[in-house]
Amino acid sequence: MSFPNEQVETQGRSNLPPVVDPISALDRAISETPAAVAAVDSLEGLAMLESTLLGKESALGEVRRRMGQLDPVDRPKIGAKLNEAAEVINALLTARRAELEAEDEGRRVREESIDVTLQAITFPSGSLHLIQQTIDEVVDIFVALGYRVASGPEAELAWYNFDALNTPSTHPSRLESDTMYLDWGDPDDEVLLRTHTSPVQARWMEQHEPPVYIVVPGRSYRTDTIDATHLPVFHQIEGLAVDTDINFGDLRGTLLHFAREFFGPQSTVRMRPHFFPFTEPSAELDVSCFACDGGEPGCRVCGGSGWVELLGCGMVDPNVLEAVGYDPAQLTGFAFGMGVERLAMVRHGIETVRHFIDNDIRFLEQF
């Protein structure tokens, strides 16, 4: 059996060399394939072998291409052999592919497996300072009530720190011995390190239309010598609510809610009359002692009184509203101011404020 070559040339269909005997060429392909497939040791190699064995340049490809030139009598037999060869070769390739894939998988499992019993490499992670944690917690309580967070400068004009807050120039807190001045002498032009966060009340109201519901966390400064309860730089959170119909009951209810969120749901509050220039009436707020349930002699938190002094508060003095251009005939409000160090000390039983600035890791990592 042979291809009629001369005819091919004359018809110009192909210039490929003749396949002298298609049947024996296909048989050879069948018999050589097992060894060739077995010799391949990678999936990439197998893909290349596949195109060598089955592609256009393979014996199968060549026979297939020349099918049309065959003597019609020979065609069925050669066609059958072609199918057989393709089936055998495909089956061998498929089987080898499965083997190589399994090997690959095994290798990957071996190489990529990790020993979960090994000691982990860990890095100590820092945390927010207790003061910042306390600020965040208090602010969250008020934000949940709809309050916005405001801030203002620490180097403040005496006007905002004192005058706008109804504090006369004769007030003792304005003395150089109490307040750190950056610029002192001309009462209209004095700059100081703010002694409380209250000036942000006036700054906010000057810039915003009522209603006002804000909390103001921030640093404050006083000429205090460091002892167990004083730092020259400390933190406060101011609160201010101004609206058309705010009364003292709103103030009490708001601070009771705060006390229960911060110290626990069993907390109660009481108010004692006090004086602040910027509120009238003014009060100090005590929270019931959460440590001793009231009146345990020598309690480490309340000392046995059953109450813990917490913050100053009151109804915004009409003079303050007037100073910022609000109409005291239309608007009322309440304000409060609390010391962050004090809140944290009461809640965690910390006996000296010095711990907050000592940077002692044994203290810091407890929170």
Closest CA to 270 of 252, 254, 282: 252
Closest CA to 137 of 300, 350, 347: 347
Least CB distance to ligand DAH at residue 338 (A): 8
Interatomic CA distance for residues 188 and 211, integer angstroms: 29
| Residue 66 is a binding residue for ligand DAH (CB under 6 A) | no
| Residue 221 is a binding residue for ligand DAH (CB under 6 A) | no
Least CB distance to ligand DAH at residue 362 (A): 31
User: For residues 3 and 262, which CB has a smaller minimum distance to ligand DAH in the complex?
Assistant: 262
Least CB distance to ligand DAH at residue 122 (A): 43
Amino acid, res. 273: P
**Omega into 281 within 30° of 0, i.e. cis?**
yes
| Residue 218 is a binding residue for ligand DAH (CB under 6 A) | no
Strands 148-149 and 212-221: parallel
Q: Which of residues 337-356 bind ligand DAH (CB under 6 A)?
A: 337
| Residue 198 is a binding residue for ligand DAH (CB under 6 A) | yes
CA distances 270 to 41, 52, 102, 273, 357, Å, are 85, 94, 76, 10, 31
With CB under 6 A as the contact rule, the residue among 258, 276, 290, 356 that binds ligand DAH is 276
| Residue 147 is a binding residue for ligand DAH (CB under 6 A) | no
Q: Which of residues 224-243 bind ligand DAH (CB under 6 A)?
A: 238
User: For residues 19 and 285, which CB has a smaller minimum distance to ligand DAH in the complex?
Assistant: 285
Least CB distance to ligand DAH at residue 190 (A): 18
The answer to whether 353 and 230 have CB atoms below 8 angstroms apart is: yes
Least CB distance to ligand DAH at residue 121 (A): 48
Q: Which residues contact 86 (CB under 8 A, 6 or more apart)?
A: 54, 60
| Residue 190 is a binding residue for ligand DAH (CB under 6 A) | no
Least CB distance to ligand DAH at residue 349 (A): 23
Least CB distance to ligand DAH at residue 160 (A): 12
Interatomic CA distance for residues 207 and 214, integer angstroms: 13
Q: Which of residues 76-115 bind ligand DAH (CB under 6 A)?
A: none
149: its two tokens: 């967070």
**Nearest to ligand DAH by Cβ — which residue?**
337
Interatomic CA distance for residues 305 and 295, integer angstroms: 5
The answer to whether 218 and 235 have CB atoms below 8 angstroms apart is: yes
- The contact set with ligand DAH (CB under 6 A) reads 196, 198, 238, 276, 279, 312-314, 335-337
